[in-house]
Amino acid sequence: SQQGEEDPQALSIQEGENATMNCSYKTSINNLQWYRQNSGRGLVHLILIRSNEREKHSGRLRVTLDTSKKSSSLLITASRAADTASYFCATVPSGNTGKLIFGQGTTLQVKP
Amino acid sequence: ETGVTQSPTHLIKTRGQQVTLRCSSQSGHNTVSWYQQALGQGPQFIFQYYREEENGRGNFPPRFSGLQFPNYSSELNVNALELDDSALYLCASSVAGPQETQYFGPGTRLLVL
């Protein structure tokens, strides 16, 4: 079963604009991770944020985590056509062996 | 490039057959996990191996089984294939332990006819 829900399901923006994707989850977590997937191929790890962290940055990516609301957001600034992909949030539940529980994903299209 | 490889890249089988998918991770990656991704869905956890022992299993029937070998390679075996087993199968490995960043291979796309 899916842990979380992502919003929006699809997003279309122009190059240079910012893209924001949101993720909600149901159980307490050890950490939350964001992944990118191009055209149904393997997933690329973007960023990991731990349950005691509130914000994390990596290049043009900014991730926030609100454990009280069980939600996270991914912001991609100054988007590029190459950012076109599906983005997934995945949680590692507390006390779990480490399985990733994925949401349904957000499909991002960046138009040149 | 994650250094995780999977074989084969594509596979076509018929219902009732058996299939073995393979994954090779980098040296030192002590954790390997397998996921099934149906079209348009997020990946679903099948099982995880940590230091060659099963370390958790998702909601998949026993006909899905696996192994992790001392050389850090892994296999996923599926018996009695069903049409719904058609999916992208992803292998992921981690160097830092079961709860840390996982590095995914490119996947094996399985079609069951």
A69 or B98, which is more confident: A69
- Name residue, tokens 């679903």: B44
Give the model's confidence band at A1: pLDDT under 50 very low, under 70 low, under 90 confident, else very high.
very low
pLDDT digits (tens, 9 = 90+) for B56-99: 899 999 999 999 998 879 999 999 999 999 999 999 998 777 67
Amino acid at A23: C
**Cα A21 to Cα A89: distance, rounded to the nearest angstrom:** 9
pLDDT at A3: 59
- The A residues from 5 to 34 touching B (CB cutoff 8 Å) are 30-31, 33
Please, are residues A40 and A85 in contact by the beta-carbon 8 Å criterion? Answer: no
| Structural domains in chain A plus CATH codes | 4-111 (2.60.40.10)
Q: How close is the nearest chain B Cα to the Cα of A70, in Å?
A: 19
- The A residues from 51 to 70 touching B (CB cutoff 8 Å) are none
Q: What is the mean pLDDT of residues A77-95?
A: 94
**Cα A45 to Cα B1: distance, rounded to the nearest angstrom:** 11
Residue A94 above 60 pLDDT?
yes
Give the model's confidence band at A96: pLDDT under 50 very low, under 70 low, under 90 confident, else very high.
low
pLDDT at B29: 85
Cβ contact B48–A99 (<8 Å): yes
pLDDT digits (tens, 9 = 90+) for B1-36: 668 999 999 999 999 999 999 999 877 888 899 999
pLDDT at B75: 97
Beta strands B108-112 and B10-13 are: parallel
Secondary structure class of A88 (helix, strand, coil): strand
Please, are residues B89 and B34 in contact by the beta-carbon 8 Å criterion? Answer: yes
Residue A74 above 50 pLDDT?
yes
